[in-house]
């Protein structure tokens, strides 16, 4: 009975003056019935009472809440061809809804328009194809992006070291040859890319700073910036739980970048092998921890086996140097991290729940949802002012080296060095990859110093002052949001920043014409919504089933009885 009462709701609220009027009217009718000379007065008074009550309940409009079942759906953006929609329906075998220009969706094949809240079931997984603004996470449990078939794909580094060549890979996925024109800094390049093949553009920057780049075809245009900076050589330690090729080839790669590396590998129980790469005599140790340690790579099992005091020494030194602690999932146990980050996980451990004890002073993997998803199911991070924690979930990148695919190897490791290792002098920040006209552009930074405001200016000398938006999850992470009204290059000015940070705003017309941009999900803070959607406690979402009709029948029954009984007596 208690559960039933919890699931009953009312569209209108009870008003005291309504109840008072109802009581006065009932008393008048009650006195009227008492004065009548009828043989069945008690039954008439009961019918009269229930008649008044049912009439008022009809006004209150009661309903029963029934829990919605859960189903996955396919959500499709605007401007997707009918043939593509048909093929998606066949492939996924789900109810499909296409986004309309308003806030509603068109149910494919029926012509019915509705919002997601109006569905008679709850969405457990929203499979999204095409360009869709961020959905209200209250409507679904998990949002899963479907890979878009791009005609042109461009891979470029976010930053490179001075004296390194800037290499850009252009992949042509279409069935026909594509002519490409590129302006990379002061260099102009033109070439044709055969169908279903790739081409490389490479230049050697002569100075540090940002290189503004533009790559265009007959129909599309891409603008981006690459930062050229003086090479930093880090002191890196590697803790390996067992000898394996992944760490060996990483060591060779770090050697080619002139980093100083000390690797300690467990070869059997209680026995370890140490190796040094580019290790200078000036580099000092304190109980096995390098004084200038900047990055610690560790197998999860190797970190688990460390004594607690040694873990604390590593953490203390990394924090002093504003460094990075990067875990790799255990060799021979490659896993797929679930997008439902609310579920605790012990998949990184071979015995106990690794790093899940609350008294440990470092990342807890049972709070995996706190990690940014830099590269889906591959690289994760948690950034704090004094330390960056990272997780890498790949094991076989060395095979690319063995087959001679050095550029592909660097692409695999690029997110690690771009997003998990903080440069020594600059503020740590990131921003929307592709900014679009009239769409929100996100910029955020991690800093112990609060930046109450930043300024953004463009080449037309328009300047906008942006205020800090607080982060309710991490106080040290600072957010700024900007709605650009004009297209073209824009620049971010930060306090004590030597050079403005550039970003290019794609025009609204270009967005509609470009398959790549129209399919790009601009919601840069998508993974922050995991805290709202995927990690929330499971909520019971209900349908409302009106029960007013039953009280209307009760009212008719009572009135009918009074009328008939009055006629026959």
Decide: 388 and 294 in contact? Cβ < 8 Å.
no
Give the highest mean pLDDT range of 101-115, 261-275, 435-449: 261-275
Q: What is the reported pLDDT for 404?
A: 85
Q: What is the reported pLDDT for 366?
A: 43
Decide: 504 and 460 in contact? Cβ < 8 Å.
no
Three-state SS letters, 483-524: CCCCCEEEEEECCCCCCCEEEEEECHHHHHHCHHHHHCCCCC
Task: Compute the average pLDDT of residues 324-338.
Answer: 60
CA distances from 183 to 48, 200, 213 (A): 87, 14, 6
CA distances from 356 to 344, 363, 537 (A): 9, 8, 20
Three-state SS letters, 379-408: EEEEECCCCEEEEECCCCCHHHHHCCCHHH
> Each residue of 423-463: pLDDT tens digit?
876 677 878 777 878 777 888 887 767 777 788 998 887 88
User: By three-state DSSP, how is residue 413 classified?
Assistant: helix
Q: What are the φ and ψ backbone dihedral angles of 527, each rounded to 5 degrees?
A: -70, -20
Find, among 217, 208, 275, the residue nearest to 247 by Cα. Answer: 275
- 389: CB partners within 8 A, 6+ apart: 324, 325, 326, 327, 362, 363, 371, 381, 382, 383
CA angle, corner 539, sides to 536 and 544, nearest 5?
150
Q: What is the reported pLDDT for 126?
A: 83
CA dist 31 and 36 (Å) reads 9
Decide: 451 and 494 in contact? Cβ < 8 Å.
yes
Q: What is the reported pLDDT for 66?
A: 67
Find, among 174, 130, 126, the residue nearest to 148 by Cα. Answer: 130
Has residue 526 got a pLDDT over 70? no
- 129: CB partners within 8 A, 6+ apart: 74, 75, 76, 77, 80, 88, 146, 148
Has residue 556 got a pLDDT over 90? no
Residue found under tokens 């197998």:
299
> Each residue of 142-192: pLDDT tens digit?
777 776 555 677 888 888 888 888 888 888 877 788 899 999 988 899 989
User: By three-state DSSP, how is residue 214 classified?
Assistant: strand
Decide: 293 and 287 in contact? Cβ < 8 Å.
no
Q: What is the reported pLDDT for 236?
A: 95
> Each residue of 117-141: pLDDT tens digit?
788 888 878 888 876 655 665 677 7
> Each residue of 272-294: pLDDT tens digit?
888 899 998 888 888 889 999 99
> Each residue of 288-312: pLDDT tens digit?
899 999 999 998 778 878 888 898 8
Q: What is the mean pLDDT of the chain?
A: 75
Q: Which two tokens stand for residue 422?
A: 């903080």
């Amino acid at each position: 009975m208690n559960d039933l009462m919890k699931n009953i709701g009312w569209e209108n609220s009870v008003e005291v003056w309504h109840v008072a009027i109802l009581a006065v009217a009932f008393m008048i009718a009650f006195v009227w019935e008492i004065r009548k000379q009828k043989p069945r007065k008690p039954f008439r008074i009961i019918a009269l009472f229930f008649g008044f009550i049912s009439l008022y309940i009809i006004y209150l409009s009661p309903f029963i809440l029934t829990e919605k079942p859960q189903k996955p759906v396919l959500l499709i953006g605007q401007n997707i061809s009918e043939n593509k929609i048909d093929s998606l329906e066949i492939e996924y075998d789900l109810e499909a809804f296409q986004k309309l220009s308003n806030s509603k969706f068109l149910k494919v094949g029926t012509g019915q328009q509705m919002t997601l809240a109006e569905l008679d079931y709850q969405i457990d997984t929203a499979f999204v194809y095409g360009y869709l603004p961020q959905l209200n996470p209250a409507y679904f449990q998990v949002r899963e992006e479907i890979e878009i078939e791009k005609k042109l794909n461009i891979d470029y580094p976010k930053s490179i070291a001075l004296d390194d060549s800037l290499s850009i890979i252009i992949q042509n996925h279409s069935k026909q040859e594509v002519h490409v024109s590129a302006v990379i800094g002061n260099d102009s390049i033109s070439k044709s890319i055969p169908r279903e093949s790739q081409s490389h553009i490479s230049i050697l920057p002569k100075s540090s700073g940002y290189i503004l780049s533009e790559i265009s075809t007959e129909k599309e245009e891409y603008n981006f910036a690459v930062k050229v900076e003086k090479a930093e050589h880090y002191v890196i330690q590697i803790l390996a739980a067992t000898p394996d090729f992944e760490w060996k080839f990483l060591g060779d790669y770090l050697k080619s970048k002139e980093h100083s590396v000390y690797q300690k590998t467990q070869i059997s129980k209680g026995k370890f092998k140490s190796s040094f790469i580019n290790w200078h005599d000036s580099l000092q140790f304190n109980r096995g921890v390098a004084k200038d340690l900047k990055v610690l790579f560790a197998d999860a099992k190797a970190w688990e086996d460390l004594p607690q005091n040694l873990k604390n020494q590593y953490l203390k030194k990394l924090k002093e140097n504003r460094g990075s602690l990067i875990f790799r999932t255990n060799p021979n146990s490659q896993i797929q991290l679930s997008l439902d980050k609310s579920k605790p996980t012990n998949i990184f451990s071979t015995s106990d729940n690794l790093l899940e004890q609350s008294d440990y002073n470092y990342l807890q993997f049972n709070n995996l949802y706190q990690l940014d998803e830099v590269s889906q199911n591959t690289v994760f991070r948690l950034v704090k002012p004094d330390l960056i924690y990272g997780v890498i979930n790949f094991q076989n990148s060395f095979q690319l080296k063995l087959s001679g695919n050095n550029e592909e190897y660097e692409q695999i490791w690029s997110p690690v060095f771009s997003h998990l290792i903080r440069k020594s002098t600059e503020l740590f920040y990131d921003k929307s990859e592709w900014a679009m006209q009239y769409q929100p552009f996100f910029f955020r930074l991690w800093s112990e110093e609060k930046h109450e405001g930043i300024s953004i200016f463009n080449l037309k000398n328009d300047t906008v002052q942006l205020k800090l938006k607080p982060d309710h999850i991490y106080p040290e992470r600072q957010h700024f949001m900007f709605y650009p009204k004009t297209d073209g290059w824009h620049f971010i000015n930060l306090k004590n920043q030597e050079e403005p940070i550039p970003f290019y705003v794609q025009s609204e017309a270009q967005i509609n014409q470009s398959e790549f941009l129209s399919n790009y999900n601009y919601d840069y803070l998508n993974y922050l919504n995991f805290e709202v959607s995927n990690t929330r406690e499971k909520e019971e979402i209900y349908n409302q089933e009106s029960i007013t009709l039953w009280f209307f029948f009760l009212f008719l029954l009572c009135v009918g009885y009074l009328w008939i009984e009055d006629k026959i007596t």
